């Protein structure tokens, strides 16, 4: 092999490998700014006053160990079914109290993580995007990848001053059952992020089994790579996942699951890939299956 060609291959390989030794094509994500890798976050810790890290796991798990400086905001606290039915994750006043208690300001650079395949982090991402925060990232692979890279954790709970963020709801990011009933496919693309068994009605969580008529099934974990680090698929692979279901970037897309967590994972993957017209049906199958007037398909 010619020396210049060998040098070029080596140079490309260095670019495509992250410092943690993981191949990456983040440059292919249209909204690559929504993801941050472990090594980049590690470099920012303690060096960026506006950095606010949110741990989206349950409080008891958070207390067992978390990233240095991380504040606990459990994903479960960002969901309330009665508010979902009115077009909100939770009431705006609740959201303001929650977010201010975590020390979030309008200028904060927020990074979210979990240890469950990014589903909880994606839920908080959606929550923040719905209420108008514009500087939010997910830690790719979360705490699991952080640990695999040998990076430290702590049990110290930080004290943070109250933030001043004022939530401003964006109703174009949410769907209710009434909205969906008026916009069933083929007007919009509806993605069911639950398991195939739930989608087919073989496993029913709720009063009825099945799915919203015309919905396509893309299980939430289809957007993750095959490794144990639970990182998102490369851009090309994500593009193919959505192309297989004929979901063009220009389409209006609605995503749902049972409660709004698995659906948030697909919502985030779509946003990462540059989809602009994406709504989360936050009430999800919990809401739809409970209303016998709404149609069900199996």
Q: What is the pLDDT of residue 206?
A: 87
In angstroms, the CA 88 to CA 68 distance is: 31
**CATH of 171-288 given 3.30.2130.30, 3.40.250.10, 3.30.40.230, 3.40.50.2300:** 3.40.250.10
Q: What is the pLDDT of residue 14?
A: 36
> Which sequence spans correspond to the domains of the chain?
21-148, 171-288
Same fold, 21-148 and 171-288: yes
Q: Which fold has domain 21-148?
A: Oxidized Rhodanese; domain 1 (3.40.250)
Q: Where are the beta strands (DSSP E) in the chain?
A: 35-36, 51-55, 71-72, 109-113, 136-139, 174-175, 189-192, 216-217, 253-256, 278-281
Whether residue 291 has pLDDT greater than 90: yes
Q: Which band of pLDDT confidence, cut at 50, 70 and 90, is reported for residue 120?
A: very high
Comparing 8 with 116, the larger pLDDT belongs to 116
- Using one digit for the tens of pLDDT, what is the confidence trace for 149-191? 999 999 999 999 999 999 999 999 999 999 999 999 999 999 9
85 CB burial (10 A radius; 0-12, 13-18, 19+) = middle
Whether residue 94 has pLDDT greater than 50: yes
Whether residue 131 has pLDDT greater than 50: yes
Comparing 158 with 6, the larger pLDDT belongs to 158
Whether 69 and 158 have beta carbons less than 8 Å apart is answered as: yes
Segment 23-41 shows an average pLDDT of 84
Residue 257, CA distances (Å) to 139, 141, 288 in order: 22, 21, 10
Mean pLDDT of the chain: 92
Residue 288, CA distances (Å) to 98, 133, 167, 211, 279 in order: 27, 29, 27, 9, 16
In angstroms, the CA 199 to CA 7 distance is: 50
In angstroms, the CA 188 to CA 241 distance is: 18
């Amino acid at each position: 092999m010619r020396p210049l060609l060998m040098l070029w291959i080596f140079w490309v390989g260095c670019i495509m490998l992250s410092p943690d030794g993981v191949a990456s094509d983040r440059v292919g994500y249209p909204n690559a700014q929504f993801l941050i890798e472990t090594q980049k976050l590690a470099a920012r810790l303690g060096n960026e006053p506006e950095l606010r890290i949110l741990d989206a796991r349950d409080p008891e798990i958070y207390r067992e160990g978390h990233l240095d400086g991380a504040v606990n905001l459990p994903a479960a606290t960002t969901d309330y079914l009665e508010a979902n039915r009115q077009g909100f994750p939770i009431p705006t006043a609740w959201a303001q109290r929650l977010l201010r208690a975590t020390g979030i300001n309008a200028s904060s650079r927020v990074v979210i993580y979990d240890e469950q395949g990014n589903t909880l982090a994606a839920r908080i991402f959606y929550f923040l995007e719905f209420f108008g925060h514009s500087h939010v990232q997910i830690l790719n692979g979360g705490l699991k990848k952080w640990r695999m890279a040998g990076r430290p954790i702590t049990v110290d709970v930080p004290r943070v001053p109250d933030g001043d963020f004022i939530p401003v709801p964006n109703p174009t990011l949410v769907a209710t059952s009434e909205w969906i009933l008026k916009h069933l496919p083929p007007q919009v693309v509806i993605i069911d992020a639950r398991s195939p068994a739930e989608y087919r009605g073989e496993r029913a969580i709720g009063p009825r089994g099945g799915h919203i008529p015309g919905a396509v099934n893309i299980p939430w974990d289809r957007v993750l790579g095959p490794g144990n680090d639970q990182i998102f698929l490369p851009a090309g692979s994500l593009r193919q996942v959505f192309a297989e279901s004929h979901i063009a970037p220009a389409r209006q897309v609605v995503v749902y699951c049972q409660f709004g967590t698995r659906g948030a994972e697909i919502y985030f993957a779509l946003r990462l890939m540059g989809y602009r017209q994406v709504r989360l049906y936050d009430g999800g199958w919990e809401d739809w299956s409970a209303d016998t007037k709404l149609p069900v398909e199996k």
